[in-house]
Structure 1
Amino acid sequence: MVDLAGQASSIGALAEPVRRALYEYVATQADPVSREQAASAVDVPAHTAKFHLDKLVDEGLLETEFRRLSGRTGPGAGRPSKLYQRSAREFAVSLPERHYDLVGHILASAVEQAARGTSLDEALSSAATEHGRVDGQSAESGVEDPLDRLAETLSGRGYEARREDDTVTLANCPFDSLAKQHTELVCGLNRDYVQGVADGLGCTGVEACLEPEDGLCCVKSHRR
């Protein structure tokens, strides 16, 4: 499940102009920089730069390391400087929630299978189902009813799932833009992925089907 509050807070930290300028400076440098270097680059006092840089570290946007800039070691070499660099962590907030990276992983897996001689259609279905199964197996849920368990898990992956009697409908498609341009391909992957999630959760007797409806994801899951 995406930590929407945490990601929004981190990205929101860049709304402050000085903080954003410091982040942009640090992110464009090939090597970690000191607070004095950053302060000079954006023309603010060193203490102001330190405050904002440390705030960016707290939000996960920057990382720090300690190193002597002179390169000297041993007694008399001086104290190591605190240096800042862009964090390796990725941030993305989209409303409604989108997961185009998942489609990318599925397609990459399918291409690898096809290169080994599997037909493309079979490779696409197999890759989508397997990704879903792995996600289902890794999900934690104390819900007993299979449809409720599936709805809870899919909601945690951006589908905005709703339980309606013996059916789970999906109010959001995490692959919306791609689905509009490549409907048959993406909707087929979507169905196989959802079925894989159900299988991974151990939701026996649940079948994912393609049932397009305006305003909803193309997939619905039914109790057999």
Structure 2
Amino acid sequence: MGLDQASLTALAALGDATRRRMFDFIRRARRPVTREETAETLGISRKLAAFHLDKLVDAGLLRTRYEAPAGIRKVGRRPKVYEPVDEAIAVSVPERRYEMLADVLTEAVLTEAAGESAREAALRVAHGRGRFLGEADRERVRPGRLGAERGLSLAAEALEGLGYEPERAAPALLRLRNCPFHPLAAKAPDLICAVNQSFLTGYLRGLGSDRTTAVLAPRPGACCVELRGARPPGGSPRTDAACER
């Protein structure tokens, strides 16, 4: 199926590298931003920022209104702010990884064992894929024994490259702001979210991050899984320094 006109217009607008960076910054900010903030972040003039922002508005990627950012009240005219539209566009923004999911499900069908359900096969393959990637990263980084916080930091680096958009919500909590498998996950959450969790669990095990777990924690507009640091017996989360002494 081809792209509709709206998606073609959006794709054309994002063909410019500056606009692509601009849209990515605003989408990740998770709040309305001003022209001044955008210009400063991208290192361009306010006038140039305004030009590109208006192009993104015309393409239907951003909407605008007048509002004091972050709830700040000021006397006089409120500044113009920009934020992404609610509707997703079909141009891989945010990043999707359908090919990775397709590979997992295809291998599951081809290797399904006697007495094993299709779901069990998918979870097995996803865990194996994740473990393979984790072991490769461990071999590359050679981090030694991993505490919870260091394990989450290493995981965040890898998951950023896979399109999960990790966010460190707390020292022992890594939230994933983007689901690489959406909207398929929305259509079949019981299967796709379980595959996702199994993949991430396998990655943590391969990385050797035994003090972290992948937990189902669905949130609107975000990945259904988050990574948490485990609590040691009888106490609060252990720091990396304590684990690695």
Shorter-chain TM-score bucket reads: 0.5 to 0.7
Describe the SS at the equivalent of 2:129. Answer: helix
Shift of 1:142: 7.2
How do residues 1-224 of structure 1 correspond to structure 2 at under 5 angstroms?
A: 94-114=92-112, 116-139=114-137, 140-141=140-141, 145-165=150-170, 166-224=172-230
Describe the SS at the equivalent of 1:176. Answer: coil
Q: How many residues are aligned here?
A: 136
Hey, what's the Cα distance between the residues in 2 that align with 1:141 and 1:167? 22
Provide Cα deviations, 1:159-208, integer angstroms capped at 9, x if missing partner: 00112221110000000110111111101101001111111211112110
Cα distance change on mapping 1:146 and 1:99 into 2, 3 Å: same
Provide Cα deviations, 1:9-28, integer angstroms capped at 9, x if missing partner: xx959xxxxxxxxxxxxxxx
Describe the SS at the equivalent of 2:112. Answer: helix
Shift of 1:152: 1.2
Q: For structure 1, which runs of at least 5 residues remain unmatched after alignment?
A: 1-7, 14-92
Q: Which amino acid is the alignment partner of residue 178 of structure 2?
A: N
Identity of aligned residues (%): 36
Q: For structure 2, which runs of at least 5 residues remain unmatched after alignment?
A: 1-10, 17-90, 231-245
**Which is greater in Rg?**
1
Hey, what's the Cα distance between the residues in 2 that align with 1:107 and 1:99? 13
Shift of 1:113: 2.4
Query: TM-score, normalised on structure 1?
Result: 0.55
| 8 Å contact from structure 2 (residues 131, 206) kept in 1 | yes
Hey, what's the Cα distance between the residues in 1 that align with 2:120 and 2:181? 21
What is the RMSD computed on CA atoms of the aligned residues?
2.4
Shift of 1:123: 0.9
Q: Which amino acid is the alignment partner of residue 221 of structure 2?
A: G
Shift of 1:137: 2.1
